[in-house]
Chain A
Amino acid sequence: MSREISIQYYAILQEKRGLSIENITTEATTPRELYRHLQQTYDFPLEPENMAVAVNHALTHWDTSLQDQDTVVFLPPIARG
């Protein structure tokens, strides 16, 4: 069953993807699955272990269930001087 997911990218993910936000249709059921799929396509250098993920603007775990119309944001490690 496919879902429409809105994704936001930051930092290095944004650079690799070339976009800061996009809407996609996906079969992925969890953020982890979704990320794996994107990682392969766009060559993201970060692993879920080093990142956080937010669904609908709340931090959650990588294996939570995705629903149709969810917003997923992958958070690379905070980069500040």
Chain B
Amino acid sequence: MNAGTYSHFELTESRLDINRLRQDLKHPKSDTTLTFESTVPIDVGEHALDRLDCEVYEELAESAGQQIIQEALEQFGVSDIAIVQRTGRLVPGESLLWIGINTPHFEAGQQAIHYVIQALKDRLPIWQKALFKDGSTAWLTSTTTTATQEEGQPASEQAESTQAEIRQPEPASEETVATIHTNVPDDELVPFHELEEAVNQSQALTPAFYFQDQLAHQGIGLEGQRKLANSKVLIVGAGSLGNAALSYLSGAGVGTIGVCDASRLETEHLHRQPLYVTQDIGKNKALLAAERLQANNPFVQIKVHPKKLERHNAKGLFEAYDIILDCTNQVMSRALLQEAAASFHKPLVQARILQYEGQLHVYQPQTGGCLQCQEALKPEIPSTALTASSTFGAVSGTFGTLQAIEALKLILSLPTPLTESQMVLDLLTYQSRFIQRIRNRDCEACQPYIEPAQVDNAHEEIVHSPIALTPDLDQFEWEVSIHAQDIQRLSNYILVDVSEAREHRPFPNHPCLNLPFSRFNLNSHLLDRDHDYLLYCQKGTRSAHLVRELRGRGYRNIYTLSGGLLSLPFLFQSETPMATKVNQPAEEAPKALEYSLG
């Protein structure tokens, strides 16, 4: 016993001398002492009590009592705990149980007493039999009102519903032994029957202890945990939505988790993507997420897909998983994922966020409606929706968490997944509304892939279709690569820099416009459908997005510079535009037409 020599657990058949017990507990430090005493009543229910016979399984009671004291000392920070339990024969008026606690703080002492009382009820192996004056007997239950019993007949039905049971390990059913997948070879898989290990085994890192609280939950249990272990979920996007969804699905024990993300961690991601740390900046996010998740849960298998989900690889990815989560919060991937879900018949849990509001929907191909099924086709998509647009990580984290919950509903067949409607939730007011998403058979957005060979007039299709429908666009048709030797090709285009104003770099010797990405929609009317435009940015990502969108709107002569400005180091070898501005004499500075409408 730590914390003084006053803590003890005692079983006794002698009458309790309460005054002496209290005196013995007091010690020189001016602590508060709280005491609890329970007494044998004169009647139980309506029946006059003659006596109470108390049996106790001593060996186990000793260890249980000591353990309870130890736990309470550690948990509540009280100084001493004394427990004295009467056994044997007692008559009404006698003390049955006495608990004394020395504590520096009253509240902690109160909590400790509650804890100890409850723990003794749950775990102390003691049986009290009441003998009534009319000759009948009854085993006492925690409700304390028992019907009159035939002699020797136990209150067994009441026992099941009202009595506290000694905690014991869950026996595994014999027919169905599940396995939890670990990242070890198949022949070394950790078997589920570790659940059968004794309770007093030390807290080893085993599936039984890891999932203990889920297993104890009636709604989940062994059956549910097995379903989780056998499920495979792909999370597309390891950003702010993905961080939350990944954390909770892996913790829940989804056996196989795929993380698909080609992007690298940047400083501005850290505030809303709590899986990552500063040392991770620059590394691939799918890899990072997998490392973090595996460190939390060694009993699931994390598969890393450090690539962008595209049409050519969607099949392989989708077919390897049961459920897909769209955690990209991007319009273009949303469309592609929806098509892929329709093509390969996988449920898709979708979320999108904007400021403090978010939307959540489960697209169930063939039976459920997609987000376009009931809506008029919308050609305009605000550019701000193309990038992460929540205010705080708390917002995107909330919806990523909700995506995990929807996935769990599907895996465990829990009620009411959002397959028939889409929820819109405002985190400021907590107002939610539900929009029905009934399937529209003629909806084009959730048709399976149209194979390119089936469509003859690709461009005509594009002109009349909304953004979501881009079945035949081949990015390589409109990506332009410029090499040192054909630098003159640039003169064939009107150059448009879509970087933000602060990043804008004019091309030396080539005039260009600056139409920043964040406000592009406001200014897109400046583009002439008859001219050839080459959009660029630093890396080529943003310009590619915009070109795809514009192509969808019918601009045919619009292209993106593959790899962005960073792909053209030769341009800046001898003179950088910035150096040009600073070092060169005024008359040699490039004449860039800068329409900076940002």
Decide: B166 and A77 in contact? CB cutoff 8 A: yes
| Given contacts A50-B165, A79-B129, A79-B159, A64 and B121 within 8 Å (CB-CB) | no
Number of A residues with CB within 8 Å of any CB on chain B: 29
Q: How far is the CA of A9 from the CA of B441 in the complex (A)?
A: 69
Contact status A79-B165, CB under 8 Å: no
> When the two chains form their complex, are residues B154 and A45 in contact, meaning their CB atoms are under 8 A apart?
yes
B residues sitting closer than 8 Å to A (CB atoms) are: 41, 44, 55, 57, 59-60, 63, 121-130, 139-142, 144, 152, 154-156, 159-160, 163-169, 171, 196-200
* Binary interface encoding of chain A residues 2-13 relative to chain B, with 1 for a CB under 8 A from any of its CBs, else 0: 000000101110
Name 21 A/B residue pairs within 8 A (Cβ), A-sorted.
Answer: A11-B154, A12-B154, A15-B152, A52-B166, A52-B168, A53-B168, A54-B60, A58-B200, A59-B200, A60-B198, A61-B171, A61-B198, A75-B60, A77-B159, A77-B164, A78-B124, A78-B164, A79-B127, A79-B139, A80-B121, A81-B128
User: Are the C-beta atoms of B198 and A59 separated by less than 8 Å?
Assistant: yes
Asked if residues B169 and A81 are in contact (CB atoms below 8 Å), the reply is no
A16 in contact (CB, < 8 A): yes
Task: Check if A11 sits within 8 Å of B165, measured CB to CB.
Answer: no
Q: Is the Cβ of A61 less than 8 Å from the Cβ of B168?
A: yes
Which chain A residue lies CB-closest to B120?
A80
A67, CB-defined interface residue at 8 Å? no
Of all A-B residue pairs in the complex, the 8 with the closest CB atoms, nearest first, are: A11-B127, A12-B154, A81-B140, A57-B59, A52-B166, A77-B163, A79-B139, A52-B168
Complex interface bits, A49-77 against B, C-beta within 8 A gives 1, otherwise 0: 01011100111111110000000010111
Query: Which residues from chain A sit less than 8 Å from chain B, CB to CB?
Result: 8, 10-12, 14-16, 45-46, 50, 52-54, 57-64, 73, 75-81
**A78 to chain B: which residues have CB within 8 Å?**
121-127, 163-166
CB distance from A44 to the nearest CB of B (A): 10
Do A80 and B126 have beta carbons less than 8 Å apart? Answer: yes
Please, how many angstroms separate the alpha-carbon atoms of A16 and B142 in the complex? 23
- Inter-subunit contact A79/B141 (CB<8 Å): yes
Contacts of B166 in A (CB 8 A): 52, 59, 75, 77-78
Q: Which residue of B lies closest to A14 (CB)?
A: B55
> In whole Å, how far is A33's beta carbon from the nearest beta carbon of chain B?
13
B156 and A12 form a contact (CB under 8 A) = yes
A8 to B55, CA, bound (A): 12
> In the bound complex, what is the Cα–Cα distance between A54 and B154 (angstroms)?
21
